[in-house]
Structure formats: C-alpha cells, structure tokens
Amino acid sequence: MKIIIIGLGNFGSSLALNLTKNGHEVFGIDCKIEKVDLLKNQISNVVCMDANNEFAYKAIPINQANLGIVAIGENEGSSIVTTAILKKNFKHLKIISRSLSKIHDTILEAMGIKDIIHPEKDAAFRLTKQISFNYALDYFKVDNKYSIAEVFSPNSFNGKTVKNLQLKQKYSVSLITIIRDNLSSNFCINKKKGKVIGLVTGDTKFKYGDILTIFGTNKSIMNFIKKKK
C-alpha cells in the first residue's frame, strides 16, 4: 500500500518506520527539516513541506497514494487545515486523522472523517489495562467494554479438556486459541510465545505453560485472572 504520512513527530515517525518494515511504501511530510533528515534514508520518500499550503501538494505523488494519515500532534489548527485540504482535493484517498481534543473530534466528524485516532489516549488505556490486569501478557481493546487478552494457563488446568472446564459458564470468557512452546519475554514478564494450535475443540487438552487467548468483558477477564492466580 502507498501511504502519505503528514507530521513526523514521535508518533508519525514511528508509524512511518513500522509501516515501512511491514512492506508499505511510505511518503513522509513535515515542515521541519530536522525531522525530514532523520527519516530520509529509512522510508521510501520524505519531503520538507508546509502541509497547509494547498498548492504544495502538486509537487508530490499524492494521487498515487491509497491512504493519507494526518499525524500532526503539535498544532491542532494545522492538523484541521491539512485534513480539510486532503478531504477537498483528493477524493480517492482514505483519510485517517489524529485528534488532539474533543473539539478536534467534533470538527473532524463534521468534515466526514470516520477514522480518528488518539495515540496518547490509546497508549494510556493499554498501559492502564496492563497494570490493572496485572498477570495478563498482552491485550487488544475491542471497544470500551470488551477485550482480547493473552494469559498463562493456570496449573490447575493441566491435563483437563476445554469441555471439562466450561470457561464460558464459570468465568464468562471465551477461549479463542492456545499458544504453545518457545520462551521469550514481553513487558518484562516471561512469556511463552510459540505456535498457535488453531481452533480449540471441547476435547483440546491444556498443557503446562500454555498461553490462553481469551475474549470477554474487561471485568470478566480480570476476574478470570484473579481466580486463576
């Protein structure tokens, strides 16, 4: 995918580098030359440009891009103007815009932007859940109520089958899959990260050191972790 990222601060530059590592062609834009210089040899293309200058876009291959990400994080007004320029002039472009406040959200929504991101808020939420869940190894937020979490299988589960344990009835969580083998670490916690065994059945048996990928409400996941300790 060809992606334009406007705003190469901490968030924008990290996003550009990660997308590049994942095989995407990234074109970065920032008004500060020092930020441009940091990425010039690490992503496909990068240019120093005032993103609020509507005519400046004629000099870049934005018509070839599939996705435009407004990652500006220092100037709310500049972010809004940049998003408006993309929305007005490049109808083919899917736009994702970073929001800095609730008012910013309201303006973006009024402009018809459906994909709005809050990097700091999302990072804070994830860290809060990491601390609150304590013994969970990783999380994916589905919405404000539901999450997917990876947790160590309790020793008491060893040798028992999914059917025997009745996780949904007893703990209000659903088992998605099991990860097995190969020690590694994540978030300063020893973590087994190996092969995903695929879809589980009622006859699937738990083994020592398994990692369970479970789905449920935040409350039910936390209760499961507390009961299994």
Give the residue extent of every domain in the chain: 2-118, 130-228
CA–CA gap between residue 172 and residue 221 (Å, rounded): 8
> If pLDDT is split at 50, 70 and 90, which confidence band does 145 have?
confident
* CATH architecture of residue range(s) 2-118: 3-Layer(aba) Sandwich (3.40)
pLDDT digits (tens, 9 = 90+) for 38-87: 999 999 999 999 999 999 999 999 999 999 999 999 899 999 999 999 99
Q: How many residues does the chain have?
A: 229
Mean local confidence (pLDDT), 31-38: 95
- CATH code: domain 130-228 is 3.30.70.1450
**Token couple for 84:** 């408006």
pLDDT in tens, 217-228: 988 988 888 765
pLDDT exceeds cutoff 90 at 177: yes
Quote the mean pLDDT of the chain. 87
Whole-number pLDDT of residue 229: 52
Residue given tokens 């990290």 in the structure block:
14
Q: Which of 155, 207, 203 is nearest to 178 (CA)?
A: 207
